[in-house]
Chain A
Amino acid sequence: MSDAQTEILSDRDEQGSFLEDFEDASYVKDIPFNVVVEEEVFDILGRPETEEEGQMEFDSSGEDARNIGRFENIFRNTSEPDVIAGRYKICIDQPLPQYSAPHTKAFAIEDLRNRIDNLYVLLFEPQHPTRLESISILKNQLLNDFQLPVEVQILYVTGHSQYQLAVVLAFPNGISFREYVRLKGACSENFITSHVLLSVIQILSQLHRLGIVHGSINPDRVYIDPNNNNKIMVGECISGLCGETQPGVFEPIERATCHPISRGAGDVSADLYALGMLCFYLFVGYDSFSDHEPDDILQQRLAKGSYNVIAGLALFPNSLRDLLKGLVCDKRADRWKERQIFDWLQGTVSNQNSLLQYHSQATRQIMFNDQYFYSCHSLAYELSCYWEAAKKFLKDPMFIKWVDRSVGDIRMASRLLSNTKMVQQKSGLVALDENDFVSRSLVMLDPDGPLRMREVATTISGVGTTLAHSYVKGKKDYMRAVAKIIANNLVGIYLDIRPDLKKSILLHNDLQLLESASPMLARKDYGFGLERVLYHLNPSLPCQSPIVANECIYTIGELMQTLDEKVRQSRKPIKIMDRHIAAFIASRFGISNEVRISGLSEFKAFERNDTMRALVFLSIAQKRCKIKSLKGLSLLIADSLKPVIELFHNRRFQKDLEGRVSKIAKKGDLSELLKTMSNNAQIQSDFQGFKKACENYRYLEARIQQLSDLKKIYEIGYSYGLRFSVVISYLICSAVIIMLITRSLGSL
């Protein structure tokens, strides 16, 4: 592992503050998306409602829709803090570090009913994804010799001042194999194969049949009870993600080169590899790798092959050699399956033909970073550790020549050459930036290895957990790296080189998830973006919004009730919506298109208003979860709707609407509230009325301007006066003349 990669697990700081930095989704602004997003509109009011239930119909065809039921059977205890299922009291002052994992802490518990002290509890940090599906499956199983969850609940832990997922487990019987070997030394070949191997593989078989990969088979997690006929017991596998707590030497090479958090869902063969390494450990009787740096061991495994490395440390009897060759095999396809182990135990299979090395060696070595390399895999790993040097090295024609002639892979050489041409092209459609160039080159050079970006190396199924981890750590670089893996379709290149993976049932879901994440990432609206990808790829991740950070929210129902409760308890208005909550709701409901209110598309001020957008998401959630009343939320939203109401122009209508909104808010029905606010006819009529009023006002303004020009008005009046004078004088003159003439004629 490079230093930078190991850094992901270190310093757990500023957890609260970074989330706010991403409200604007600016972290992906420089990512060149090559995804064409179909501009569909998810018309929430335009969709038909079923008459019986009054429910809106939503597009729940997405992968996320399946997650809704996953969390429903986990009880949320809101009444009794620190007491699980009314009987197990958490002793927060008695931590059990030996059963803890990096993001899961173990504590002793007190059974309030039976006073039995063979139980302990695992408390999961709500910022991290968990193996919730495995927990749900295992809780209802009856497996022998395996640590099963006794009780699962989400409850408030006063010592940690937050809600946490708590899983009660029984202590494992006996001692760990590490302790056993320390006390008794190496185990015999017969004991290993006929007792340990058989017991563990039987337990693993049961787990695998349930679709669960253990991911932590190692001497600390497998127990033996010397007081009970050396009975073997396999420890729990739920405290961490698959492979998160597994030492690198117990992981097959394709997973060992990834950061523990990025190893992904894992597969059965990884458990069998670990089982092989456990057998090796028991046979040698000590941790033969403890004196070496993990990175050195990894380099040796990459260069020589894992089996060759362990074979160099001990001399195995023939039978065990066959087993170890079969299990500690770097080539996944050649690694033994369960069936072969059972066959081998029955003596019906031997293993002579397994490839002992991950890659065939090149005929000649190549030097990078003052070291010589014979295999593409080890070179790719080294290049990923020295990213800047790799940029120059990968463009070197000598390197392409080495791949072509010494490795003898012409197709790989031609791919690398065209990739080099793309980065040398400074502009145009196919131009690559240097980091993308290195990532692509490493995928081409080592198609069996992880997806590598600068400081990030992840399996396909580990992309989600890597993203979740980078959110916890607030590492924008890692987020950008994950976003680039998705946006640049690095997986597509991977699949182009290894089309066999497309048929892999194991990867099918992960590939589909990543493929569907791409358009989600490209959209910046509420409910999409990197936050949406976070929940899409990590269905077991509680809502990470700072608003409900301490609440460990897994379901929309819980989210709505919690928000409602928070609003009721708070004396002043609080924030109830952010990108996380919107993405969480959209992810849980599998909303794949932009959420819009029908008829409001032409009224952008209404549609883009934050309160309206919050109302849209929350009303969807309320309807879908069939929550009858959310008074707190409704009243708060009604209060925050004042600026939206003020978008209407007519004051009388505003007052009327305000009255209606506050009346509906008292009922607690968010959908009704949304309907009232988004009535297209009333908005239209208001806008048209306003337009008319503006025209009237303008006309009146012009008239006033005219009448305010006193000089002109005076002139007009004066001219009237003149005309009047003329008319009057003519009339008087005419009258007088007629009178004089009449009198004169009369006197004659």
Chain B
Amino acid sequence: MVIETSTQEDHPSVSIVIKIIASLIAFAALVVSGYAFIFVLFGMLPTIVAMTIDRRVTRSASNTIGAFNLMGVMPYLIQLWNSSDVSQEAQHILTDVYVWFYIYSAAALGWIMIWIMPQIWANIVISRAHNKVAQLEQAQEKLVEEWGEEVRPHAREV
């Protein structure tokens, strides 16, 4: 994984938005209920792990995983928000296996995305570069055809 092998230094431009949102949610959860806080903490665990190991300047991995992770946690947070007894509801969610399956599946989608998408993009760019090189070489051949082979060595002198 690119994120794991990255050795880039930490940068202050870490996704502050996610950090703030996460901190607000965590703080709100802590105020409302200890179970809710534990739910948020464990629910956002993939993001915390990603933030810890993602040392790339752009923090692309932590952002992507964080976004998908939040997407997975959000329905249950709304459920907690709408419930009358937050602690009981939180206990119920904490013990529901499917909840954790959904939350971690969403985070996994983020992991998959950050793993596949750059590779797809890199290959697209390489393929475009190959095409461009072929075009440029054709243009060079045209010049050689018109001005002779001397144009090759002379190109370095001019």
| Contact yes or no, B136 A717, CB < 8 A | no
| Contact yes or no, B140 A733, CB < 8 A | no
Within 8 Å CB of B56, what residues of A?
A: 722
Task: Say how far A736's CB is from chain B's closest CB, in angstroms.
Answer: 5
| Contact yes or no, A722 B139, CB < 8 A | no
How does the 8 Å CB contact mask read for B1-33 relative to A, with 1 for contact and 0 for none?
A: 010000000000000000000000000000000
| Contact yes or no, A733 B81, CB < 8 A | no
How does the 8 Å CB contact mask read for B115-158 relative to A, with 1 for contact and 0 for none?
A: 00111111111100110110011011001111110111011111
Number of A-B contacts (CB under 8 A): 153
Contacting B117 at CB < 8 Å: which of A693, A708, A724, A736? A724
Cα A722 to Cα B54 in complex, Å, equals 12
Which of A695, A697, A710, A716 gathers the greatest number of chain B CB atoms within 10 Å?
Answer: A697
Within 8 Å CB of A720, what residues of B?
A: 118, 121-122, 125
| Contact yes or no, A700 B71, CB < 8 A | no
The reply to whether the CB of B68 lies closer than 8 angstroms to some CB of chain A is: yes
| Contact yes or no, B70 A693, CB < 8 A | no
| Contact yes or no, A714 B146, CB < 8 A | no
Cα A585 to Cα B141 in complex, Å, equals 47
Cα A696 to Cα B75 in complex, Å, equals 60
Contacts of A679-716 to chain B: CB distance below 8 A: 689-691, 693-698, 700-701, 703-704, 707-708, 710, 713-716
Task: Say how far A63's CB is from chain B's closest CB, in angstroms.
Answer: 47
Task: Say how far B120's CB is from chain A's closest CB, in angstroms.
Answer: 6
Cα A718 to Cα B147 in complex, Å, equals 40
Within 8 Å CB of B71, what residues of A?
A: 732-733, 736-737
How does the 8 Å CB contact mask read for B49-68 relative to A, with 1 for contact and 0 for none?
A: 00000001010110111011
| Contact yes or no, B126 A714, CB < 8 A | yes
The reply to whether the CB of A652 lies closer than 8 angstroms to some CB of chain B is: yes
| Contact yes or no, A721 B152, CB < 8 A | no
Within 8 Å CB of B136, what residues of A?
A: 700, 703-704, 707
Contacting A700 at CB < 8 Å: which of B58, B68, B140? B140
| Contacts known (A652-B146, A744-B81); A697 close to B155, Cβ less than 8 A | yes
| Contact yes or no, B155 A725, CB < 8 A | no
Within 8 Å CB of A736, what residues of B?
A: 71, 74
How does the 8 Å CB contact mask read for A716-748 relative to B, with 1 for contact and 0 for none?
A: 111111111110111011001100110010011
| Contact yes or no, B67 A740, CB < 8 A | no
| Contact yes or no, B119 A700, CB < 8 A | no
| Contact yes or no, B114 A707, CB < 8 A | no
Nearest CB in chain B to that of A747: its residue: B82
Contacting B154 at CB < 8 Å: which of A694, A732, A744? A694
**B interface majority secondary structure:** helix
Task: Say how far B63's CB is from chain A's closest CB, in angstroms.
Answer: 5
Within 8 Å CB of A690, what residues of B?
A: 147, 150-151, 154
| Contact yes or no, A693 B118, CB < 8 A | no
| Contact yes or no, B75 A740, CB < 8 A | yes
Nearest CB in chain B to that of A701: its residue: B155
**A interface majority secondary structure:** helix
The reply to whether the CB of B97 lies closer than 8 angstroms to some CB of chain A is: no
The reply to whether the CB of A651 lies closer than 8 angstroms to some CB of chain B is: yes
The reply to whether the CB of A662 lies closer than 8 angstroms to some CB of chain B is: no
The reply to whether the CB of B110 lies closer than 8 angstroms to some CB of chain A is: yes
Within 8 Å CB of A722, what residues of B?
A: 56, 58, 60-61, 114, 117-118
Interface size on A, residues (CB 8 A): 46
Task: Say how far A437's CB is from chain B's closest CB, in angstroms.
Answer: 52
Within 8 Å CB of B81, what residues of A?
A: 744
Nearest CB in chain B to that of A689: its residue: B147
The reply to whether the CB of A405 lies closer than 8 angstroms to some CB of chain B is: no
| Contact yes or no, A729 B151, CB < 8 A | no
Within 8 Å CB of B61, what residues of A?
A: 722
Within 8 Å CB of B70, what residues of A?
A: 733, 737
| Contact yes or no, B133 A708, CB < 8 A | yes
Within 8 Å CB of A708, what residues of B?
A: 129, 133
Cα A715 to Cα B124 in complex, Å, equals 12
Cα A733 to Cα B2 in complex, Å, equals 23
| Contact yes or no, A697 B151, CB < 8 A | yes
| Contact yes or no, A710 B74, CB < 8 A | no
Within 8 Å CB of B68, what residues of A?
A: 729, 732-733
| Contact yes or no, A724 B121, CB < 8 A | yes
Cα A737 to Cα B76 in complex, Å, equals 11
| Contact yes or no, A713 B110, CB < 8 A | no
| Contacts known (A725-B64, A737-B70); A697 close to B118, Cβ less than 8 A | no
Task: Say how far B143's CB is from chain A's closest CB, in angstroms.
Answer: 5
| Contact yes or no, B140 A650, CB < 8 A | no
Cα A728 to Cα B114 in complex, Å, equals 10
| Contact yes or no, B78 A717, CB < 8 A | no
Cα A470 to Cα B64 in complex, Å, equals 99
Nearest CB in chain A to that of B133: its residue: A707
| Contact yes or no, A704 B137, CB < 8 A | yes
The reply to whether the CB of A195 lies closer than 8 angstroms to some CB of chain B is: no
Task: Say how far B103's CB is from chain A's closest CB, in angstroms.
Answer: 13
Nearest CB in chain B to that of A697: its residue: B155
Cα A707 to Cα B132 in complex, Å, equals 8
Cα A335 to Cα B122 in complex, Å, equals 111
Task: Say how far B42's CB is from chain A's closest CB, in angstroms.
Answer: 19
Task: Say how far A731's CB is from chain B's closest CB, in angstroms.
Answer: 9
Cα A721 to Cα B120 in complex, Å, equals 7
| Contact yes or no, A729 B113, CB < 8 A | yes
| Contact yes or no, A649 B148, CB < 8 A | yes
Cα A458 to Cα B140 in complex, Å, equals 68
Task: Say how far B4's CB is from chain A's closest CB, in angstroms.
Answer: 14
Within 8 Å CB of B65, what residues of A?
A: 729
| Contact yes or no, A737 B74, CB < 8 A | yes
Contacting B113 at CB < 8 Å: which of A695, A704, A725, A744? A725
Contacting A698 at CB < 8 Å: which of B60, B133, B155? B155
Nearest CB in chain B to that of A733: its residue: B67
| Contacts known (A707-B132, A714-B122, A740-B78); A694 close to B60, Cβ less than 8 A | no
| Contact yes or no, A721 B118, CB < 8 A | yes
| Contact yes or no, B140 A726, CB < 8 A | no
Task: Say how far B23's CB is from chain A's closest CB, in angstroms.
Answer: 17
Sample (25) of A-B pairs whose CB atoms are under 8 Å apart = A649-B147, A649-B151, A650-B147, A651-B145, A651-B147, A652-B146, A690-B150, A693-B146, A694-B154, A694-B157, A697-B140, A700-B136, A700-B140, A707-B130, A707-B132, A710-B129, A715-B122, A716-B122, A717-B118, A722-B60, A722-B118, A726-B64, A733-B67, A733-B68, A740-B74
Considering the complex of A and B, which 9 residue pairs feature the smallest CB-CB distances, nearest first?
A: A721-B118, A721-B121, A717-B125, A717-B122, A722-B60, A733-B67, A729-B67, A694-B158, A697-B155
List residues of chain A with CB under 8 Å of any chain B CB.
Answer: 649-652, 689-691, 693-698, 700-701, 703-704, 707-708, 710, 713-726, 728-730, 732-733, 736-737, 740-741, 744, 747-748
List residues of chain B with CB under 8 Å of any chain A CB.
Answer: 2, 56, 58, 60-61, 63-65, 67-68, 70-71, 74-75, 78, 81-82, 110, 113-114, 117-126, 129-130, 132-133, 136-137, 139-140, 143-148, 150-152, 154-158
